Amino acid sequence: MSYSMTTLDDGNITSGGIHFIMLEGYVAYYKSNDQYKWLEKNLAKVDRIVTPWLVATWHPPWYSTYTAHYREAKCMKVAMEELLYEYGVILVFNCHVMVETVRRWP
């Protein structure tokens, strides 16, 4: 199978057989809000034969045992998780815990 070049469409990136979806965890995400409607429209138009991999990312994780941010994105999860499963999003990247490291060189 041959894949197209990288394209940027409506805030998303499609590269080869991967469609990357960028979401915002700190704005409205309920079914009646713009982000949810945009996501649903975006997922529906992806041709899974040409682009079989759907990958989504946003900042606060839905599942975390880190107590300082525990359940911070629970409402977003409740609102959007079923939609991501319905359309077969196969991979999600989150990162919320920022750890400052000090590098020491000999």
> Does the active-site annotation cover 69?
yes
Long-range CB contacts for residues 67-71, cutoff 8 Å, separation at least 24: 68/97, 69/96, 69/97
Q: Catalytic amino acids?
A: 69
